[in-house]
A and B are shown apart, each in its own frame.
Chain A
Amino acid sequence: MQRNPYLPLPMKLVKNFTETEDKLIHTFTFQFLSEEDEKSFPYMPGQFAEICVFGKGEAPFGIASSPTEPGFLKFSVAKVGLVSTALHMMEEGTMVGIRGPLGNYYPLEQLKGKNIVIIGGGFAFTTLRSMITYMLKPEHRGDYGKLTVIYGARNPGLLLYKEELEEWNGRSDIDLVCTIDRPVDGWTGRVGFVPTVTKEVAPSSENSVAIICGPPVMIKFTMPELEACGFKPDQIIMSLENRMKCGIGMCGRCNVGNKYVCKDGPVFTKAELNQLPNEY
């Protein structure tokens, strides 16, 4: 029998960073305790892990770091309940358990040779950071065509990974479009909701794949814009969220139709989702 999938890997919190201006999202960096531990956690962009706060509980979070960033794992967590609150208050140096990697991942093999359009909203940008970081690595960048990123948040303070965004802005091999909902003093970038900006950017669907991650309302209105640009359901990739516990497809909680979001997802193509009931 393989390793017990319920046992977490102990990891140390080395950075508890307040990511957003409203302080509701923190980014946590956890360090592997040994090289052996790191080898036991081979992950790909798109996957998630269950962060186990001893004494409080576990919760699933998308992995924001890329496997090309060795030695640690990064997660961005919004404060909504028992586990996330405990994480937000956690002192650096505290031990946690990380269970994973879980779920499937962005189909990087199938994306080779294609133009990639990444659309993210709010704090759903976590696994997208993982993928973009992975793709921008010199040894990978050549595998993919044009890389367009549209990332929107309500206001500048709520954008995640500001350091990375600045770095990407300066690069020529990625076309980054950040946008905020309403004009704010000091913001010289785009203003407009993500669906509107998508329409304006009008990415070409020729030999392209779109990856979209965000709150349900953003997805609802962005999807038609992508379709208008000619993206077919098998050219659109989404990452779903659902309430989870075991993360391994046994506790029965996270299913959408006959698929478990934790085990068969969280990454699905629109074509696959069209086969499933609209219950997520």
Chain B
Amino acid sequence: MIIAKNALPGLLDKLVAEYEVYAPVKQGTYSLYKQICNGAEADFGYVNSKIPPKGILFPQSEKLYSYSVTGEGTNLEECIDNRKKVVFGIRPCDVKGLLLMDNVFNNDKFQDPYYLTRRANTILVGMACNNPAGTCFCTSMGSGPFDQSGLDLMLADVGEAYVVEALSQKGKDLVAELALGAADSTQKDAAARAKEAAEVTCVVNTEGLKAKLDVNFYDSIWEKFHEKCLGCAACTYSCPTCHCFDIVDEAKDCNGCRVRNWDSCMFPLFTLHGSGHNPRTSGKERMRQRIMHKFKYFVDNFNAPACVGCGRCIKNCPVNLDVREILADIRGSEARSDK
């Protein structure tokens, strides 16, 4: 199927009438996924957004339920968002991030209705990457600029138009709803050529990385990685797979709501016990936790690293702490395994 670029705003308008539509929007020098009211707001002149679109399914601040306690009893009201959504122009790496987060919010014992309801009601329309950035290393993390995993539709930019491929029943239904025309063979060829030409220049070799992490918890290599780290949450909030959160009450006396907010393992208070004991007392332990969680624990539990190679943590870190350098150091090190 084909969508002419000059027809896209009109098409988005059609979607806006029926769905909450999220698309990349320019904000100063960068792009963010925002809900649009009309098709003209969307701007597809981006490599990727500053922070990932995970906030559409897992908002930074979200009401879980509201409560009021009266003489008659306790009234709890769940706040589950089941409105239909379309994320238009999501990159394959960010979709991979959602696929990884699915493991977290639907684990072997529990299901998170907030994330899963939104997830089930969201159509993911992907935009393949013709020009990956120099900090992108998605191909090293099980994704790629034209990777179709998890997408309902995939768009490929062929100059004047986007070649569209339906990848799921949801995608097929949407294509039918929008009554898209067929692409001709020149356009399809152009899409194939764009896929060939899309080059991810940064390669992160992860061979042997997991094996090192399996044994190097007590190694002195962890002394050096954290020294320049500020301990802020720029990397975690920029990451498509980071899912840590805090739960707090916002209330006046007995009326209020329970809210969840993003949190970060890089903050000292994250693991502080009520007794004052903190298993991770310094940046060293917290940096080790971040790397271990992403490249060992998540692999242990779900057979995939919790990293999609989007490169945002590298770009957004105020001190240019580069995860690729840490991984290379770990791979190249002699690990000591004794406690």
Chain A in direct contact with chain B (Cβ < 8 angstroms): yes
Query: Chain B residues near A241 (CB, 8 Å)?
Result: 273
> In residues 249-265 of chain B, which contact A (Cβ within 8 Å)?
249, 251-256, 258, 260, 263, 265
Footprint of A on B, CB under 8 Å?
64-65, 67, 69, 73-74, 76, 78, 80, 104-105, 107-114, 116, 217-218, 243-249, 251-256, 258, 260, 263, 265, 270-275, 277, 279-280, 285, 289, 292-293, 296-298, 300-301, 339
Contact with B along A1-27 (1 / 0, CB 8 A): 110111110100000000000000000
Asked whether B67 lies within 8 Å of A252 as measured between CB atoms, the reply is no
Q: Which of A2, A57, A59, A255 contacts B111 (CB 8 A)?
A: A2
* Contact (A257, B248) CB under 8 Å given A243-B271, A248-B110: no
Query: Chain B residues near A58 (CB, 8 Å)?
Result: 247, 249, 258
Number of interface residues of A (CB under 8 A): 44
Q: Which of A55, A249, A256 contacts B110 (CB 8 A)?
A: A249
A contact face: mostly helix, strand, loop, or mixed: loop
* Contact (A252, B244) CB under 8 Å given A10-B73, A54-B249: yes
Q: Which of B76, B113, B114 contacts A8 (CB 8 A)?
A: B76
* Contact (A252, B285) CB under 8 Å given A4-B78, A5-B112, A54-B251: no
> In residues 238-268 of chain A, which contact B (Cβ within 8 Å)?
241-243, 245-246, 248-258, 263
* Contact (A278, B249) CB under 8 Å given A249-B109, A258-B296: no
A280 touches B (CB below 8 Å): yes
B contact face: mostly helix, strand, loop, or mixed: mixed
Closest 8 CB pairs of A and B: A252-B244, A258-B297, A80-B274, A10-B74, A258-B300, A248-B110, A55-B251, A277-B217
Q: How far apart sit A54 and B218, CA to CA, in the bound complex (Å)?
A: 42
Q: How far is the CB of A177 from chain B (nearest CB, A)?
A: 26
Q: How far is the CB of B337 from chain A (nearest CB, A)?
A: 11
Q: How far apart sit A59 and B252, CA to CA, in the bound complex (Å)?
A: 19
Q: Which of B64, B254, B271 contacts A253 (CB 8 A)?
A: B271
Q: Kindly report which residue of chain B lies nearest to residue A260, judged by CB atoms.
A: B107
A84 touches B (CB below 8 Å): yes
Q: Kindly report which residue of chain B lies nearest to residue A56, judged by CB atoms.
A: B249
A145 touches B (CB below 8 Å): no
Q: How far is the CB of A254 from chain B (nearest CB, A)?
A: 8
Asked whether A59 lies within 8 Å of B297 as measured between CB atoms, the reply is no
Query: Chain A residues near B104 (CB, 8 Å)?
Result: 250, 252
Footprint of B on A, CB under 8 Å?
1-2, 4-8, 10, 33, 52, 54-59, 78, 80-81, 84, 95, 97, 216, 241-243, 245-246, 248-258, 263, 277-280
Asked whether B110 lies within 8 Å of A5 as measured between CB atoms, the reply is yes
Query: Chain A residues near B270 (CB, 8 Å)?
Result: 243, 253
Q: Which of A4, A257, A263 contacts B297 (CB 8 A)?
A: A257
Q: How far apart sit A186 and B30, CA to CA, in the bound complex (Å)?
A: 74
Task: Identify 12 residue pairs between A and B in the complex whose beta-carbon atoms are under 8 Å apart, listed by A's number.
Answer: A2-B111, A5-B112, A10-B73, A80-B274, A97-B67, A243-B274, A245-B246, A245-B247, A251-B263, A252-B104, A258-B301, A279-B285
Q: Kindly report which residue of chain A lies nearest to residue B253, judged by CB atoms.
A: A55
Q: How far apart sit A263 and B104, CA to CA, in the bound complex (Å)?
A: 12
Asked whether A242 lies within 8 Å of B74 as measured between CB atoms, the reply is no
Q: How far apart sit A81 and B277, CA to CA, in the bound complex (Å)?
A: 13
Asked whether B78 lies within 8 Å of A95 as measured between CB atoms, the reply is no
Query: Chain A residues near B245 (CB, 8 Å)?
Result: 245-246, 250-252
Asked whether A251 lies within 8 Å of B244 as measured between CB atoms, the reply is yes
* Contact (A242, B279) CB under 8 Å given A250-B112, A263-B109: yes
Q: How far apart sit A97 and B107, CA to CA, in the bound complex (Å)?
A: 24
Query: Chain A residues near B254 (CB, 8 Å)?
Result: 54-55
Q: How far apart sit A250 and B104, CA to CA, in the bound complex (Å)?
A: 6
Q: How far is the CB of A158 from chain B (nearest CB, A)?
A: 15
Asked whether A7 lies within 8 Å of B217 as measured between CB atoms, the reply is no
- Other than the known A54-B249, A54-B256, A263-B109, what 9 A-B pairs have Cβ atoms closer than 8 Å? A4-B113, A6-B65, A55-B249, A55-B253, A58-B247, A245-B246, A248-B110, A248-B112, A255-B289
